[in-house]
Structure 1
Amino acid sequence: MEEKSLFTAEESDAIKSSWSKMTENGVSTAGRLILCRLFQEVPEVTTLFYRLGIGGDESYTLESLSQKSQFNSHAKRLSLALDAIVKKLDDTAFITQKCTDLGKSHKKHNVKPHYFDLLGQVLVKVICQALNLTESHPTVKAWIKAYGAISTALKNGLTSE
């Protein structure tokens, strides 16, 4: 039996449409914006990204970070994961499994569960800024709802045995 979607048709359409706008200049662009904003707003997470060649004393501008191939690579993986989730937004089992697996893959990097919450807050801010929306806009509310499901599965994967 197929699981019921977590989202109404309107929420699903809003998320898909907004993601399409966010990725008009390439899917990786959205990931770069999200990661750059995360580093600016939550600098303590940069220690988790040592493999990206990011030092603790640099400014985290999109221009400087985009010159680092490892940063671009990770930003692309983030964007592709979000893209896959958005494309299968009505497949609850897929979202749960994909995000649980992603959470498990972040264990070895000592990611703390609350970092996923912070990432969600940053994602919402980037969407608001990029699309000139307020947090009370129905599209943003749909993203907040979606990220709630994503975050729950990510944290379940992170804390699973």
Structure 2
Amino acid sequence: MLTRLIYASETTEALTPAAVQHIVDRARLNNTRLHLSGLLLFDSRCFLQVLEGHRAAVSELFGRIATDPRHRRIELLEVTPVHERRFARWSMGFAAADAAHGELFLRFGGAPEFNPYAMSAAGALGLLECVGAAHVAAAQPPRAACA
């Protein structure tokens, strides 16, 4: 059975761009091994991540995240069975949660700043899907944008 899990957390330490890239690179390797897919948004302070895959693999990974000392204020926004993956393109997609997404933050979180703690599960999923679609559109010929 496939499961989708969405969580928010706050970093306990300042992360350089190189450190974030290292985290993403390791996640891609581990997620490929575990047959997981997902997307991570990060703004130098907060993470918003969606994970998809078999329930046991998602649970195992989230258990490691929950005990990782680089995370605090971990808030589980959603855990739900799903029929198909929405982020299958990536073992771990990554996008900076920066001012370029301000309109999406306002649409899905109620303010033009990135605050995953202020989002509902549906809002977080909507934001992640729109950012993911924009990420794909930037790398490929134009297609329907997130409206």
**Which structure shows the bigger proportion of residues in strand conformation?**
2
TM-score range, shorter chain: 0.3 to 0.5
**Higher Rg of the two aligned structures:** 1
Q: Using structure 1 for the length normalisation, give the TM-score.
A: 0.32
TM-score, normalization: structure 2? 0.35
Structure with the bigger percentage of helix: 1
